[in-house]
Amino acid sequence: MMTQRGVLPMTDWQRPFSRASDATLFINEQVVGDIVVQGTEDSWSHGLFNPRAAFMKFAPLFAQWSLMMHVDGAYEPLSPAASDELRQVETQIDRLRAKLLFAANGHWVTCAQLNIDGPLIEWKVR
């Protein structure tokens, strides 16, 4: 689970978006979900992710990433085997062509990196 400042408490994650989405996520030219942006720190932005049906094609990859991030317990270093597997999963995710379309201004951004962990999403812009 991502631990960014400004992310809503877990009890709020299950609720539908309380406001319109700020951006639409595209992976490999397919609309896969909507994002409510919650903040930016350094070169990363983060928010809440509401998947659409097309995300099901990519969900297993992000689920595997999420499991690997939590495999050895919270805040514990990953074992060498888990690190190797995580690297392989991250390489697959990095090969995806992810971009965001921001509703307010029609601005497109290309994601250099993308992480989705349940209802949380974070991305780094190229």
In tens, the pLDDT along 67-124 reads 887 765 666 777 888 889 889 999 999 999 999 999 889 999 999 999 999 999 999 9
Structural domain span for residue 76:
19-125
The least confident of 4-13, 27-36, 41-50 is: 4-13
Is the model's pLDDT at 58 over the cut of 50?
yes
Residue 102 in domain: yes
Q: Is residue 112 part of a domain?
A: yes
In which element (H, E) is residue 24 found? strand 23-27
Mean pLDDT of the chain: 83
Number of domains in the chain: 1
pTM attached to this predicted model: 0.79
Instruction: Tokens for 85, please give them.
Output: 């597997």
52 located within any domain: yes
Which of the 8 DSSP states describes residue 16?
A: P
SS3 for 65?
Answer: helix
Asked if residue 1 is part of any domain, the answer here is no
Q: Which has the closest alpha carbon to 93: 62, 122, 48?
A: 62
pLDDT given for residue 9 in this prediction: 40
Q: Is residue 53 part of a domain?
A: yes
